[in-house]
Amino acid sequence: MSKFFLIPIYIIFILFISCSDDIDLVNSPNNQCYLSVNTDSSTQYTEFTYFNGKILKRLNYNFVDGQKGDLQSVIEFERNILNELKSLKYYNGNNILEAIDSLEFNGMGQLYEVVTFNNKLERVKRVYLIYDHNNNIIEERIFDFNMNWIIKIENTYIYDDNNRVITSIREQKTTSSPLIDTVHYTYDDMVNVESMTKLYTPFKKNNIISEEKVFYLNNGTRIIELINYEYQYNEKGYPISSKKTTTSSESTVFNYYDLKCSD
């Protein structure tokens, strides 16, 4: 995945939609949906525009003193005349093009390749996705372009019987010590709809309540970090707030979510 696509994800790193209204509003024609996410350390206001149930645009703003502030970045979801998603264009707050993701889908309708171009239309990144028979992403291969494609990172995902990722393995393909980290996950049984706000994600069912991260250093040392999440939910099972606690920093981060859709 390109660094341009990851920027808004890092800013609101567990972007779940929640709403006191029926979530089907998002899938209704001609809706504009406004999602605000407030955290202890920073605040972001993200606005999604939908048409006929398809996301068209994502705008990221500052959110200051409870008010939407300056525009920071824009992602446009471009479709062909058949309403098929073909590319993503990334702009800064001054409407200057920064990057383009070109998308390729297979005959099953699965996104299998994302090629990222910079604003000079030079190839810089490539993501290649492999699926299992349940339409789950089991491998994510990330390449850099330097005269030719060089694989840099490979992510592997292992699922349980409920099609939830229980283990992810990240490997660096260009060093003598390839293994970077392994993460083990547990889940609640509530609604997770983050796949509606991301180009692709292997995490599509329920909300993560714990992560055990094992980092592998070059000298053979292993470092283990434990992360726990607590949620508050509305009556429809969508999270309206989350609390993240980690053993590495011994800190707690609160996130508050609010989604409102127009008719």
pLDDT in tens, 137-196: 999 999 999 888 999 999 999 999 999 999 999 998 876 668 889 999 999 999 876 666
pLDDT at 260 over 70: no
**CA proximity to 233, closest of 20, 12, 13:** 20
Q: If pLDDT is split at 50, 70 and 90, which confidence band does 100 have?
A: very high
Indicate the pairing of strand 208-216 with strand 32-39. Answer: unpaired
> For 83, left (φ over 0), alpha (ψ -120 to 50), or beta?
left
How would you class 156 by CB atoms within 10 Å of its CB: exposed for 0-12, middle for 13-18, buried for 19 or more? middle
**DSSP state, 22?**
-
pLDDT at 72 over 70: yes
**DSSP state, 40?**
S
**Cα 21 to Cα 73: distance, rounded to the nearest angstrom:** 27
Q: What is the pLDDT of residue 240?
A: 78
Q: Where are the alpha helices (DSSP H) in the chain?
A: 3-11
**Cα 43 to Cα 37: distance, rounded to the nearest angstrom:** 7
More confident call, 142 vs 239: 142
- The CATH number of the domain holding residue 109 is 2.40.160.190
Q: What is the pLDDT of residue 194?
A: 65
pLDDT at 121 over 80: yes
pLDDT at 253 over 80: no
**Cα 212 to Cα 227: distance, rounded to the nearest angstrom:** 7
| Assessment of whether the complete model's pTM goes beyond 0.85 | no
Q: What is the pLDDT of residue 49?
A: 79
What is the domain range of residue 227?
3-261
* Mean local confidence (pLDDT), 9-21: 34
pLDDT at 3 over 80: no
Number of domains in the chain: 1
**Cα 38 to Cα 43: distance, rounded to the nearest angstrom:** 5
Positive/negative CA dihedral, 148, 97, 30, 22: positive
Positive/negative CA dihedral, 185, 232, 240, 92: negative
More confident call, 63 vs 168: 168
* Mean local confidence (pLDDT), 5-10: 37
**Cα 140 to Cα 118: distance, rounded to the nearest angstrom:** 21
| HEC readout, 122-168 | CEEEEEEEEECCCCCEEEEEEEEEECEEEEEEEEEEEECCCCCEEEE
**Cα 177 to Cα 216: distance, rounded to the nearest angstrom:** 9
